[in-house]
Structure 1
Amino acid sequence: MFMRVSTRILPAVVSVLYKSEDVPRKATPLSFKREQQPYYDLSVKIIRAKNIVGGDFLTEGDCYVSLRLPTASVVDYQTKTISNTNNPEWNETFNYRIQSTVKNVLELSLYDANVKGKKLLSSVAFDIGKIQLGHSLNTTIDLKDKEQLEVEFHLEKCNDPPNEILTNGVLVAQPCTCVETKVRNVNNAQMVGTGVNTQYNMSLKVDGAYEEEQVTTLKPISNPVWNENFVFHIDKSLDPKLKIDLIQTSTVLQDDMHVEMTKDTSIVGSGSEPLYQLPLGKNVAVTLPLGQEQSVDLKLKAKKCVEDLDVRLSFDLADPEKEFLVKRKKFVARALKKALQLKKTPKDIHVPVIAILGSGGGIRAMTSLYGALSGLQQMHLLDCVTYMVGVSGSTWCMSTLYQDTDWSRKDMKGPILHAKKQVTKAKTSVLSKDRLGYYINALVEKNRSGQSVTVTDLWGLIIESFLDWKENKIKLSDQQKAVRRGQNPFPIYASLNVKSDVSAKDFGEWFECTPYEAGLPKYGAYIPIQHFGSKFFMGYLIKKCPEIKVSFLAGLWGSAFAANLEEILREVIGTSNTWMQNLHDAIRVTDEHSQSTQLQMRTIIPARMLDTIVKNLFVSRLTAAETFNFLRGLFLHRMYEQNHNFMKGQTTHLDSSPNYLTPMANQLYLVDAGFSINSAFPLALRSQRRVDVILSFSFSRGSPFKVLKKTEEYCVEHDIPFPKIDVPDILEQSLQECYVFTDEKNPRIPTVIHFPLTNATFRNYKAPGVERTSEEEKYYGSFVLEAEQSPYSTLQFTYTANDFDRLVDLNCYNVMNNKDIILMVLKQAMARKR
């Protein structure tokens, strides 16, 4: 239904009021808990396949099966290849030790090993949770057409002692083991060949360890003695093995060129040593055979990493944010008393939580947010705000403001004048020789610190130049001073974690940065902001890198250019490219009646090679901000999909493929959150933040209600309370400045006051209730934001002074012209808190 709300300034402002059902949410523990969980022994027998269409028109298939269970083994197993038959029979058994707490999904992939190389015929994902303890399960899996794969599973108790784990109900962390490896000497080293100059290289590697392959060199070969130490951080539950290769390199000197050229490299010895049974805290001497009577003397010592995790596993707010909320309520209570002309200062429990959401939109969004904040400040409402959440261009405004620890308590004219100076200045200097030299040095320094460097980092430095931050060394943690006393709203900066080869429409996880933490609310996993970009493994900080400065983060938050070709076309065309669906692998659910706690078994039929090439061309993302994944080494809980805090997508979404979710990735790919929803509603709507009123500022071009409609879809999908958004087309054709969406009967649903970017009455009023009279005033107010030659294009980074002033004044006016609406909503919010 619709309701007209009259004010003394604006003749009629539309307020849209809707009702929605109050759906109870499941209660789920917010913090981690410590558990002792047993191991199980799993055997997988690959029996046979039938009716396989492999080979070519002259021959039958040469088939084998690959087994991948990344929660139990760091290596994939493989059957032998059965040649020239479409009905191969293997009868091979593979054994795993699995963890009972984690989600174990076995991938069985059928390959044809033809003369041109292996070809994937089909793949199936099987949830080990379907197998009953102490029982065997013989199953025939339907692949494509009439093809079948027969497999037998058996699950038994394991004699190994139980494993201690930490879990928040979605992620599982286990003890990390540090193995110190001392290579003492090689016995009976043998030389192969007759090279002039010969040296030994020794390669040490542990599959699945945090550390990469480590290589050491020694010349000459006689009695090679190393006495070198190496360290590997491992997950002992994955049956890791230390692999050592002794490599001989022979070189010959070419006199005519006076250079040394490599002639021959060969492995002259190899061996491996299991690590999962190493006792903790004891030195273990090992003589490892390398073949041909060669051996290497090792000293191994396994140590448990420090007990406390460095990754915070919890869906609750961080303690500093909770402390801020207590302090901020005092400021908000006093501000509400003044704004609403109350007789008494309201009690803390009656103080509503109000959040400002600024959308993306480049310099247009940054400039507009300055204007909106100025309007709120002039109405003495800025001190009523608890949170400020930004996307893309809005974060550029926020990150500038929070360099001043008391910015919201000072006149906004100062920051606006500074922004005007930068926005109206020519941008040619950003590509000057001096600036380019600075960019290169800054990127080299970041790389030397051990952090990833991408195109996004260069973009961040360019933004730094746009905003005249010069060589800004400010860190996000410096903003803690701006919220420590509760004196300003709490800032939250949004981005999106995506995959490098998947559209953000199909996979995107909200990522948030605050002055205290960075993290993924979907998994309930956070790290101190000082450690964002450092290297983690199994929940522990392994290598600490310097904190990333805000300049680089600004590029990450506003990296809209990281779009892939599919996303660009969808934005241009306005609809999804449905023909792209035909290029993806076909996925078929083969057991629709499985229990809710188990994944449905899915058969994957790979796309044709040409289709795959075309798909990769459209979905590959080359310019996302890559940073080390602090979830690496953590696993998903066996009940993760049933945990209400886990923001699961649709049934066919990657969220139902645990082996391919973020904990299994080495890198995070962070892009502009505008690829999902161009306003960070999902972060403001976290139930722990208990936001009562949202001041939504949409600075986007195009549909003024797009962010609301997309948010509504997101909330319906994830069972998040949100008012119904059902706006008739006629409202979009004749925009008002302010819309209110609420549910009067359900206090759990926040009220949204939405401000689209529109010039509705500003063209006729220079201030609320004050009409424009002179021609100059009328000209100043008469401009169209959506004009074809509009100066406010998203790709426009330089405004004239007049264009900047008009955009700031427009947004300031739109807020102030709806003061009565805002005050009415705040009064209602306080009443609902009672």
Structure 2
Amino acid sequence: MTEPQEVAYGAKSHPRRHDGSSDISVHFGISDEEKAAVKNRGEKVLTALRKLGLNVKKGPVLSVLVSGGGLRADIACQGVLSELSHVGLLDMVTSLAGVSGSTWCMSSLYSQRDGFQDLVKAENELRRRLREDSWTFSVALDGLCVAAERDDYSLTDFWSYSIVYSFTKELLDARLSCVRDQSEKGTVPYPIFATIDQDLKSGANEKTQNAWFEFTPDWAGYPTLGSSTPGAYVSTTHCGSRFEGGKLIQQKAERDFSYLRAVCGSALADKNTILKTIKDFFWKLIHGSSTQEKMLIVHPEGITLKAITGDVFDLVYTFLTDGDCLPILKNLQSKMTGNKDFSEAATLTDQMIKHSLRTSRDEQRQLIQELLEKIFSRDLVEKSNVSSFLKFLWKTFSCLLSWTWGTTNNFVYKCGDIKDKFLAGQKNMYLMDAGLAINSAYPLVLPPVRNTEIILSFDFSEGDPFETIKATAKYCKACNIPFPPVDEAKLNQEAKTPSDFYIFEGENTPVVMHFPLFNKVNCGSTAVIEKRRTTYATFRLKDYSDAEVCQLLEDSKANVRNNKDAILAKISELAEATS
């Protein structure tokens, strides 16, 4: 596959080493930094092939895709990478692209300089963390209070500390840009973290081409804004800073891997399940520890705040789940009446009670938002000794009410080089888990600009093990992207008891090798496959035992080990064909 010619367009058509530059880039094709990284990685691939006795001049461009799936995907991704290394195939991987839970594993490995050098050590560390339960509620709360000071706080910040941290038992303060040195030298596969822009995502999977948003060590942005429209990027170090008209207005620190994990892995279940999980966290905050007392009982109004915090959360939760808010409003009114700090809030609550039957849902939402602003008034927050904690409560309740995730300053705001006027007109973009579109990062590695020749697709999905393949085939057809033929009827017949390996090939398309996590080879029967899927449910809140972690590692490793010869044969075939 040949790379389309890059054309002069907009701010910069040929992105080069930024050295801290705050420029944005509008261009076709991949950046010069990525090209250099892929070239240097290619030398490592070539060395690995020659060690096997292949006298070739160039190795094929091989991308490994690791799908979403919460903690199951995190652990299974570790198993896949460990086994690829063990059987000598990891050095042949050009890029590693992850979605959702798999990015948790990727973050952990890329945050360490030797993460890919000793995957046995990384695997043992993963087991230790999960076994020892190194999640601490007070640490999570401290992190949330710090995050609440940001003007772009959203439920993604909450998710980072309350859910992803509790699942992975790990907080990572390293940043993706720190991987530049390793990736440029080709010592690690080039990392691609996938998300989508919620505002640009349409209802159908096959129409989300312009919604995909990628993070790499060098640049973050939209690979394409349409079939004939260049992509738009900003230096990864400046993603999140404020831009206007293509100029940097306010620089902000690059977000860390812990936040990136939450951006990539925020769609582990349906909305009601997510709400229930958030409710459990707040129950622990309000009822299960002395943290709230320490935070709130520091001045006179703290007594009332402590009394009403649970009711305020219940009000928002009940509204979002279509429950009866009237009893909660009455409780709030009785607790706030007579307290001068909450007189305006009490008055508004009284009005809400009197008119509860005559207001629409949108009006109710607006009134609850106004109530939050009166309870957590500017005066109260600013004079408080724990203002960050009150900001955390207020912002989290407010974001819940509006269901706001992934708030990030839009770097192409009012940029004249962007033809998409909707995108250029938004001050913020809202990034979400790419699993909401396709639960694997095919759209980021399939475009010809990345020259991918082989894709190893490790699917850790909970349901249909072929959904990512079928969705990608539809997506590629709609977007005119080469993809091998897919017999959907046959895959549907095998979905309950899949094999451990499928290969999809076509004329002038990449070769796709697909590996369902639980299959009739590593599980043995349909009954065992179903049991595994139940045991490792995406939103299982009970921690895995060490035995369960080991079983999941073994299942994922087996899919590599049992098919290493087929993988190597295809790599060798393509390498010899191009030499």
Report the equivalent of 1:370. 78
> Which residue does the alignment assign to 1:315?
28
Cross-structure match for 1:105: none
- What SS class does the counterpart of residue 185 from structure 2 fall into? coil
Equivalent residues in 2 for 1:572-721, closer than 5 Å:
622-635=403-416, 658-659=420-421, 661-721=422-482
Please give the secondary structure, in 2, of the residue aligned with 1:790.
helix
Q: Structure 1 pair 825/28, CA: closer, same or farther in 2 (3 Å)?
A: closer
Higher relative contact order (CA 8 A, sep 6+): 2
Q: 1:701–1:763: structure 2 CA closer, same or farther, 3 Å change rule?
A: closer
State the 1:782 CA deviation.
10
AA of the residue aligned to 1:525: A
Residue 145 of structure 2 corresponds to 441
Q: 2:212 aligns with which of 502, 505, 510?
A: 510
Report deviation, 1:409.
3.0
More helix by share: 2
2:61·2:93 contact (CA, 8 Å) conserved in 1? yes
Matched, 1:499 2:199: yes
Counterpart CA distance in 2 for 1:613 and 1:382 is 56
Decide whether the 8 Å contact of 2:68 with 2:99 is kept in 1: yes
Amino acid across the alignment from 1:793: A
Whole-angstrom CA distance in 1 between matches of 2:556 and 2:102? 13
C-alpha displacement of 1:666: 1.4
Cα deviation, residue 759, structure 1: 3.6
Instruction: Tell me the equivalent position of 2:173.
Output: 473
Match of residue 531 from structure 2: 787
Counterpart residue number, 1:422: 129
Cα 1:465/1:484, change in 2 over 3 Å: farther
1:344-383 matches, cutoff 5 A: 344=55, 346-347=56-57, 350-383=58-91
1:512 and 1:518 in contact (8 A); partners too: yes
- Give the counterpart letter for 1:469 in structure 2: E
The structural deviation recorded for 1:612 is 9.6
Q: Distance in 2 between matches of 1:782 and 1:424?
A: 29
Q: Relative to 1, partners in 2 of residues 1:564 and 1:697: Cα closer, same or farther, differing over 3 Å?
A: same
**Matched residues, number:** 446
Change (3 A) 1:789 1:326: closer
**Does the aligned pair in 2 maintain the 1:474–1:549 contact within 8 Å?**
yes
Residue 500 of structure 1, CA deviation: 9.2
1:327 aligned onto 2:40:
yes
Question: Closer, same or farther in 2 for the Cα pair 1:788/1:480, shift >3 Å?
Answer: closer
- Counterpart for residue 240 of structure 2: 533
| Contact 1:439–1:458 (Cα < 8 Å) also in 2 | no
Residue 259 of structure 2: aligned partner: 552
Higher strand share: 1
- Does the CA-based 8 Å contact 2:457-2:513 persist in structure 1? yes
- Contact kept, 8 Å, 1:391 with 1:672, in 2: the verdict is yes
Q: 1:390, 1:331 → 2: CA distance?
A: 22
Unmatched segments (≥5 aa) in structure 2: 15-20, 226-230, 276-358, 367-400
Aligned counterpart, 1:32: 8
Pair 808,665 (structure 1): closer, same or farther in 2 beyond 3 Å: same
1:699, 1:754 → 2: CA distance? 11
Residue 502 of structure 1: how far off its partner (Å): 7.0
**Which runs of structure 2 are paired with 1:114-153 in the superposition (5 Å)?**
none
Aligned positions of 1:682-831 closer than 5 A: 682-727=443-488, 728=490, 729-743=492-506, 746=507, 748-763=508-523, 784-787=528-531, 790-797=534-541, 798-831=543-576
**2:177, 2:237 within 8 Å by CA — same for their partners in 1?**
yes
Alpha carbons of 1:732 and 1:418: their partners in 2 closer, same or farther (altered >3 Å)? same
Amino acid paired to 2:6: L
2: CA distance between counterparts of 1:353 and 1:396? 24
User: What is the CA–CA distance in structure 2 between the aligned matches of 1:365 and 1:789, rounded to whole Å?
Assistant: 12
Aligned with residue 409 of structure 1, among 110, 117, 128: 117
Output one character per residue of 1:720-754: Cα deviation in whole Å (capped at 9) or x when no partner.
111011141333243110000012xx3x3100000
1:715 alignment partner, SS class: helix
Q: Is 2:503–2:514's contact at 8 Å kept on the other side of the alignment? A: yes
Flag the structure with larger Rg.
1
Using structure 2 for the length normalisation, give the TM-score: 0.70
Q: Give the 3-state SS of the residue equivalent to 2:76 in structure 1.
A: helix
Q: How far, CA to CA, are the matches of 1:324 and 1:517 in structure 2?
A: 13
1:422–1:467 contact (8 Å) kept in structure 2: yes
Contact in 2 for aligned 1:498/1:504 (Cα 8 Å): no
In structure 2, the CA distance between the partners of 1:330 and 1:500, relative to structure 1 (3 Å rule), is closer
Aligned-residue offset at 1:559: 1.0
Q: Classify 1:438/1:716 alpha carbon distance in 2 versus 1 (closer, same or farther; 3 Å).
A: same
Letter of the 1:435 partner, please give it.
Answer: V
Please tell me whether the aligned partners of residues 72 and 101 of structure 2 are also in contact (alpha carbons under 8 angstroms). Answer: yes
CA contact (8 A) 1:738 1:756 kept: yes
Q: Secondary structure in 2 aligned to 1:711?
A: helix
Distance 1:529 1:806, change over 3 A: same
Task: Give the direction of change, closer, same or farther, for the CA distance of 1:459–1:493 in structure 2 (3 Å limit).
Answer: same
In structure 1, the residue matched to 2:94 is: 386
Q: 1:484 aligns with which of 172, 184, 190?
A: 184
Q: In the alignment, residue 176 of structure 2 is paired with which amino acid? A: L
What is the rounded CA distance, in whole Å, between the counterparts of 2:571 and 2:533 in structure 1? 39
Distance of 1:802 and 1:783 partners within structure 2:
19
What amino acid does structure 2 have at the position aligned with 1:388? L
Cα contact 1:387–1:491 (8 A) shared by 2: yes
SS of the residue corresponding to residue 495 of structure 2 reads helix
> Residues 685 and 678 of structure 1: is their aligned pair in 2 closer, same or farther, counting only changes over 3 Å?
same
Amino acid at match of 1:756: P
Supply the AA of the counterpart residue of 1:810.
Answer: D
Residue 329 of structure 1: how far off its partner (Å): 1.0
Unaligned 5+ segments in structure 1 are 1-21, 34-164, 170-307, 569-608, 641-657, 765-780
Contact 2:198 2:211 (8 Å CA) reproduced: yes
State the match for 1:147 in structure 2.
none
Alignment of 1:159-174 (within 5 A): none
RMSD across aligned positions (CA): 3.4
- Residue pair 2:12, 2:25 contacting (<8 A) in 1 also: no
The TM-score normalised by the length of structure 1 is: 0.50
Cα distance between partner residues in 2 of 1:478 and 1:799: 31
Q: Secondary structure at the match of 1:536?
A: strand
Q: Matched residues in 1 for 2:528 and 2:402: separation?
A: 35
Question: Which residue identity is paired with 2:567?
Answer: I
Q: Contact 2:197 / 2:212 at 8 angstroms: preserved in 1? A: yes
For 2:476 and 2:455, how far apart are their aligned partners in 1? 15
Distance 1:443 1:562, change over 3 A: farther
Q: CA deviation at 1:532?
A: 0.8
- 2:141 & 2:517 partners in 1: Cα distance? 39
Between 1:436-445 and 1:352-361, the stretch displaced more is: 436-445
